A and B are shown apart, each in its own frame.
Chain A
Amino acid sequence: DAKTTQPPSMDCAEGRAANLPCNHSTISGNEYVYWYRQIHSQGPQYIIHGLKNNETNEMASLIITEDRKSSTLILPHATLRDTAVYYCIVRVAGTASKLTFGTGTRLQVTL
């Protein structure tokens, strides 16, 4: 699986959009981009995933660049409950293969 690079930490004011970047310059054509988050010591929570098109769900939006070498997770209106470690992961499509977690981005949402 391709490796990813994320900033170690970010801050965001409550109510503002949180934009979390991820670099995956060695991604292969059959690899999806997944985002998960872990709030304190809870089990990681799936957020969203995509292959090449932008995706949106009730939690977030995922913007993937045209060359697929980077992506951005957008939390449109961050709240204090969004404070967590966010993980960007790439994984081969068409399998139930393991997810390899990196160190992620620690997002701190403040008042």
Chain B
Amino acid sequence: DSGVTQTPKHLITATGQRVTLRCSPRSGDLSVYWYQQSLDQGLQFLIQYYNGEERAKGNILERFSAQQFPDLHSELNLSSLELGDSALYFCASSVAVDTGYTFGSGTRLTVV
């Protein structure tokens, strides 16, 4: 157990639907990062939050949005889902200094 909790572990949904992925960071970590990994693809950075504020944005589609709540958990919202959105979605957290990230075990999203 890495200390970063992602739910659900698996999600199957239809095209056009909307889903919410949840991430609870390690205790004390203020930064949360979201990554997408499609089949046989690399890890693509989506977005970062630090203590409730958006810090950096990567290749995140306009159909996707995220937020970090006062208790520091984060949610990634994916809407108008397409087949190509099927992927593993990872959340990671870190403290505000130069330490390594800790990743969760991911949410596997399948869009049918």
Do A and B actually bind?
A: yes
Interface residues of A (CB under 8 A from B): 32, 34, 36, 38, 41-47, 49, 93-104
Cα distance, A38 to B90, chains bound together (Å): 12
Distance in angstroms from A27 CB to nearest chain B CB is 15
Chain B window 82-95, contacts with chain A (Cβ cutoff 8 Å), 1 for yes, 0 for no: 00000010101011
On whether the beta carbons of A96 and B42 are closer than 8 Å, the reply is no
> Cβ of A34: which chain B residues have Cβ within 8 Å of it?
100
- Assembly CA distance A104 to B40 (angstroms): 12
Q: Are A98 and B33 in contact (CB under 8 A)?
A: yes
| Tally of chain B residues near chain A (CB < 8 A) | 30
Contact B103 A32 (CB under 8 A): no
Q: Is the CB–CB distance between A46 and B102 below 8 Å?
A: yes
Residues in chain B near residue A49, CB distance under 8 A: 98, 100
Assembly CA distance A102 to B77 (angstroms): 25
Contacts of B100 in A (CB 8 A): 34, 36, 46-47, 49
With an 8 A cutoff between CB atoms, is B68 at the interface?
no
Give the residue name and chain of the A residue nearest to B6 (CB). Answer: A43
Distance between Cα atoms of A96 and B22 in the complex (Å):
21
How far is B101's CA from A44's CA once the two chains are assembled, in angstroms?
A: 9
Measured CB to CB, the closest approach of chain A to B6, in angstroms, equals 8
Decide: B98 and A93 in contact? CB cutoff 8 A. Answer: yes
| B103→A96 contact, CB < 8 A | no
* CA–CA, A13 and B35, complex, Å: 32
Nearest neighbor of A45 in chain B, beta-carbon distance? B103
Residue of A nearest to B57 (CB): A98
Contact across chains for B97 and A96 when beta carbons are under 8 A apart: yes
How far, in whole Å, are A93 and B96 apart by their CA atoms in the complex?
11
- CB-contact partner of B48 in A45, A98, A103, A104, under 8 A: A98
